[in-house]
Amino acid sequence: MAKAFDGPVVRLKNVVKTYDDDGLKVTALDGISFEIPSGHFAMIVGPSGSGKTTLLNLIGCIDTASSGTIEVAGQNVAKLRDNAITDFRAKNVAFIFQNFNLFPVLSAYENVEYPLLLIGMKPAERRARTMAMLKSVGLADFARHRPNQLSGGQKQRVAIARALVKHPEIVLADEPTANLDSHTGLQIIELMHQVQREQQVSFIFSSHDPQLISHAEEIFAIRDGKLVEHKIGEGQ
């Protein structure tokens, strides 16, 4: 599925993020600048505490930079007010979390359907798209199951379906395989890569997992809040 947006899906220019930790100023990101072309499977790597999650949060528009410019899908997100940035996220950005973060009171079907409700999609189309998405992640038979009735791998599949069902511009995954065994983790990565290719959606994920690096088209290595390396991966 071709995406409407043609330019770099992410453009960061001299982004700085500092935290005030009980009066102590901590710099999490220090002058990060890079671009990620649309439809790429990009990976951010780095040791723990290097700023990977902070960087994903800024790209995902759930945090704000202390300085610098962040453009996501062509939109300078710093200029958007709270409701506008929330609506922007609802349409353009999706997340896959390390802990899956499915809503426990909703079934697999309802979890996947939820983002479509937020963008006001009509019921008939919503139903069709939700079922198609569940089918594509191999969970059509588990539609009525609640998250506590699913395995870790199944939960992450539901999370992937939930992220992709609205056809976002960008999907952000923070350590998506950290809570899965290596075999399931690999399956999940292959699934993400597969649907990324089908939908031509941009994927950015952070990970320590070396088996994921082989799937990345672009790899950004950061250390102590600075971009130390940018290379083209083997997953191209």
Partner 1 sequence: MTLFKIAFRNILRNFRRSLMTASAIAVGTIALVLFGEYLSFVMVGLETGAVLSNGHLTVFKKGYFDFGSGNPAAYSIADYQSDIALIKNDPVLKPMLNVVTPTVSLFGIAGNFAIDTSKTFFGFGVVASDRNKMRHWDEYQLRFSRNFGPLGISDDDANHGVIGVGMARILGLCAPLKVANCPAPPKPKQEVVADAPPAPNVPGLSAGDRAAADATKTDLAPRIDLLGATAGGAPNVVSFFVNGVSRQGIKELDDSYVGMNIKLAQELLYGRGEHKAVSIQVQLKRSEDMEAARARLATLFAHHHLDLEIHDFKDMSPQYNQIVNYLSAVFSFIAVIIAVIVLFTIVNTMSMSVMERIDEIGTARAMGVRRGGIRLQFMVEGWMLGAIGATLGIVLASLLAIWFNNMGITYTPPGQSAPVPLLLRTHGVGGLLFTVWLVLMLIATVAAIVPAGKAAKMKVVDALRHV
Q: Which residues bind partner 1 (CB under 8 A)?
A: 57, 60, 62-63, 82-83, 86-87, 89-91, 93-95, 97, 99, 101, 103-106, 110, 114-115, 117-119
Residue 211 CB, shortest distance to partner 1, in Å, is 25
Say if residues 188 and 160 touch (Cβ distance below 8 Å).
yes
Phi-psi category of residue 230: left, alpha or beta, with phi > 0 → left and psi -120 to 50 → alpha: beta
- Complex with partner 1: residue 106 or 221, whichever CB lies closer: 106
* Minimum gap (Å) between residue 225 Cβ and partner 1: 16
CB of 113 to partner 1, least distance (A): 8
Structural tokens at position 53:
């999650």
Are the C-beta atoms of residues 108 and 144 closer than 8 Å to each other? yes
Rank residues 95 and 220 by Cβ distance to partner 1 and give the closer one.
95
Helix segments in 80-228, DSSP class H: 82-92, 108-118, 123-136, 152-164, 182-199, 210-213
CB of 46: closest distance to partner 1 in angstroms? 18
Q: Between residues 30 and 63, which has the closer beta carbon with respect to partner 1?
A: 63
Closest contact distance (angstroms) between CB of 120 and partner 1 is: 11
One-letter amino acid of 3: K
- Residue whose C-alpha is closest to residue 208's, from 233, 231, 174, 235: 174
Q: Which is nearer to partner 1, 18 or 101 (CB)?
A: 101
Which CB sits closer to partner 1, 102 or 191? Answer: 102
Contact 31, 222 (CB under 8 A): no
Q: Which is nearer to partner 1, 38 or 98 (CB)?
A: 98
Q: If phi over 0 gives left and psi between -120 and 50 gives alpha, with beta otherwise, what is residue 61?
A: left
Report the C-alpha gap between 59 and 39 in whole angstroms: 15
Nearer Cβ to partner 1 (35/110): 110
Distance in Å, CB of 210 to partner 1, minimum: 26
Type of residue found at 84:
A
Instruction: Report, in angstroms and rounded to the nearest whole number, the Rg of the chain calculated over CA atoms.
Output: 17
User: Smallest gap, in angstroms, from Cβ of residue 72 to partner 1?
Assistant: 14
For residue 190, how many other CB atoms are within 10 A of its CB?
11
